[in-house]
Structure 1
Amino acid sequence: MEAVPLSAVFLSEFMGTMFLMIFGTGVCATNTLANSKGKGSGWLLINFGWGFAVMIGVFVAFRTGGHLNPAVTLGLVAAGKTEYMPGIAVNVPNTVIYIVAQMLGAFVGSALAWLAYKKHYDAHEEPGDILGTFSTGPGIRSYFWNFLTEVIATFTLVYWVLISGWTQSGLGPLAVGFVIFAIGASLGGPTGYALNPARDLSPRLLHAILPIKNKGGSDWGYSWVPVVGPIVGGVIAGLVYIPTGPLMAVGM
């Protein structure tokens, strides 16, 4: 099959991750910010919101497999895959493009969610709540245990991606959305289940530079946990994966 241009790879992953973060950041803002009509809707809404955000993002990035997540991309590399999708070889240029697109897409998607909630951010007075709409944080701060939680949670996601393959019926994106919901419901309590370096680092950087009243600090001391933990979990999943057939990935 003819190779997919790098520009098309970039656009697919960028747009998919942008959609992921519009809805992901948006559901956190809905639940948290002052005068939001969805304020206080709770953890269940957040889990459903993120699950459907992933589903939508994967559909948007269908052409590239809908990774939306450097941990998924690197997990496929660790698994020894030769193609991300037909026409997209697993090589250094494509891998870099995937990750750069994911990081930039997450940044832009969160910025668009911030614009939608601009007046609510201006009205909110609790700095921790504001940061929590952009990035994750621990329920109990213990770096080793927080790191281990992210490793375990991301391992489950990437291993599922590796064994699930792709369903041409279109159920793949829906299925991964339910997996995200299950991870949030089961393993999300300790850290808020980042699972994805792009999902956490890019919005955290956005938080640091946006002129948000009462925003406080961006908690850079914790920021390595939702980056390194998911990468380690994704790579471990790839290393222990035993191939069972053709794979065309669907991931977060």
Structure 2
Amino acid sequence: MLSTLLPAAAEAAAPYTMGQIFWSEFLGTAVLLLLGGGVVATNLLPKSKGKGGGWLLINWGWGLAVFAGVYVAFPTGGHLNPAVTIAKVVGHMFNSSVTLNGKLPDDVHAVAVTGTNVAVYIVAQFLGAFVGAVLCWLTFKKHFDEDCDPALKLGVFSTGPEIRSYGWNCLTEAIGTAVLILWVYVSGNTESAIGPLGVALIIVVIGNSLGGPTGYAINPARDLAPRIAHAILPIKGKGGSDWGYSWIPVVGPIIGAIVGTAIYFLTLASASA
């Protein structure tokens, strides 16, 4: 009997394939953008039952969207965000035992930090974000057809600053992302390791505390891929996609990911070990 069970056990413990890694991050990010974009559409678009729900509704909606997306992509660490993936790469430079999904290197399900794996994560995140944004548009299609300020329609897809100052906007995005990345590293080494719910709550906190200036993208895929969807989709009365600002939610989070990781490994990593 034992011998008949061993092959099944070995198969169950097989390393993740490239396809499994891709679909994990793709589906998780698609869920993130469907639900995250959906709460913004609920708040902003004409004739929505939740119109005017306010900033707190959006922040809690995004937090719970992250909660859902992280659970979907839990096998691969639930990055959903190229900034998190880049943070893992930088962390691996400080400590070679860091893997992409947080498992120890000798775990059969550990996803090693390799160029191929990193590329699969980031491509999956961007494609998932694009598809999630399209699904959000399909869900609210009739509301997008209503007349309203084109900026509100763009706001469902991507972020924009309240005061346009590219240097300061980039700094805001970098600080918010650094807080997220530092929290991800610290929380992963606590006794509770509180997981997806903790990630949801830190997203809400960042939105409430640091999101006012720019709308807190803190995720290149979350902003750029839906912005491309906005440009491509036949949205009635949509206006421009604000390409002049589009680099801020990409560059700022990448800087923040690097800085947040460096702060952790240079100051806190030994205490958390």
Q: Give TM class, smaller chain.
A: over 0.9
Residue 178 (str. 1) matches residue 194 (str. 2) = no
Paired residue secondary structure (2:36): helix
2:45 to 21, 24, 33: 33
Query: For residue 229 of structure 2, what is the aligned residue in structure 1?
Result: 206
1:54 aligned to which of 51, 66, 82: 66
Tell me the amino acid that sits aligned with residue 41 of structure 1. Answer: G
Partner of 2:100: 84
Corresponding residue of 1:150: 173
Give the Cα–Cα distance (whole angstroms) in 2 for the partners of residues 46 and 122 of structure 1.
22
Worse-matched range after superposition: 158-167 or 191-200: 158-167
Residue 9 of structure 2 is matched in structure 1 by none
Q: Which one of 4, 14, 21 corresponds to residue 9 of structure 1?
A: 21
Note the C-alpha offset of 1:167.
8.1
The answer to which of 82-91 and 167-176 deviates more is 167-176
Q: What amino acid sits opposite 2:53 in the alignment?
A: S
Q: Which residue of 1 aligns with 2:262?
A: 239
In structure 1, the residue matched to 2:185 is 162
Rounded to whole Å, the distance in 2 between the matches of 1:124 and 1:170 is 46
Corresponding residue for residue 222 of structure 1: 245
SS in 2 for 1:123: coil
Q: Which runs of 4+ in 1 moved over 4 A?
A: 166-170
Residue 35 of structure 2 is aligned to residue 23 of structure 1: yes
Of structures 1 and 2, the larger Rg is shown by: 2
Q: CA deviation at 1:240?
A: 2.2
Q: For 1:83 and 1:191, how far apart are their aligned partners in 2? A: 31
Q: 2:79 aligns with which of 62, 67, 78?
A: 67
The answer on whether the counterparts of 1:33 and 1:124 sit within 8 Å (CA) in structure 2 is: no
Look up the match of 2:149: 126
Matched residue SS, 1:83 = coil
What's the CA shift for 1:79?
A: 1.4
* Cα contact 1:77–1:238 (8 A) shared by 2: no
Q: Please, what TM-score do these two structures have when normalized by structure 2?
A: 0.87
> Structure 2 regions of 5+ residues with no counterpart?
1-12, 104-109
- Which residue number corresponds to residue 8 of structure 2? none
Whether the aligned pair in 2 keeps the contact of 1:74 and 1:234 (CA below 8 Å) is: yes
Change (3 A) 1:171 1:71: same
Give % identity.
58
**How far, CA to CA, are the matches of 1:151 and 1:170 in structure 2?**
25
Is 1:109–2:132 an aligned residue pair?
yes
In 1, are the aligned partners of 2:45 and 2:148 still within 8 Å (CA)?
A: no
Q: Does 2:153 correspond to 1:137?
A: no
Query: How far, CA to CA, are the matches of 1:199 and 1:60 in structure 2?
Result: 16
What's the secondary structure of 2:160's corresponding residue?
A: coil
Of 167-176 and 136-145, more deviation after overlay is shown by 167-176
Cα RMSD of the aligned pairs, angstroms, is: 1.7
1:21 Cα deviation from its structure 2 partner: 0.5
CA gap of 1:170–1:232, structure 2 versus 1, over 3 A, is: closer
Could you give the per-residue CA deviations for residues 176-197 of structure 1, whole angstroms, max 9, x where no partner exists?
A: 1000000000000000000000
CA-CA distance at 1:166 after TM superposition? 7.0
Native 8 Å contact 2:187 2:193 kept in 1: no
SS of the residue corresponding to residue 100 of structure 2 reads: strand
2: CA distance, partners of 1:111 / 1:161 = 29
Separation in 1, partners of 2:99, 2:56:
36
- Distance in 2 between the 1:104 and 1:199 partners? 10
TM-score (norm 1): 0.94
- Give the aligned length: 246
- Tell me which of the two structures has the higher relative contact order, counting C-alpha pairs closer than 8 angstroms and 6 or more residues apart: 1
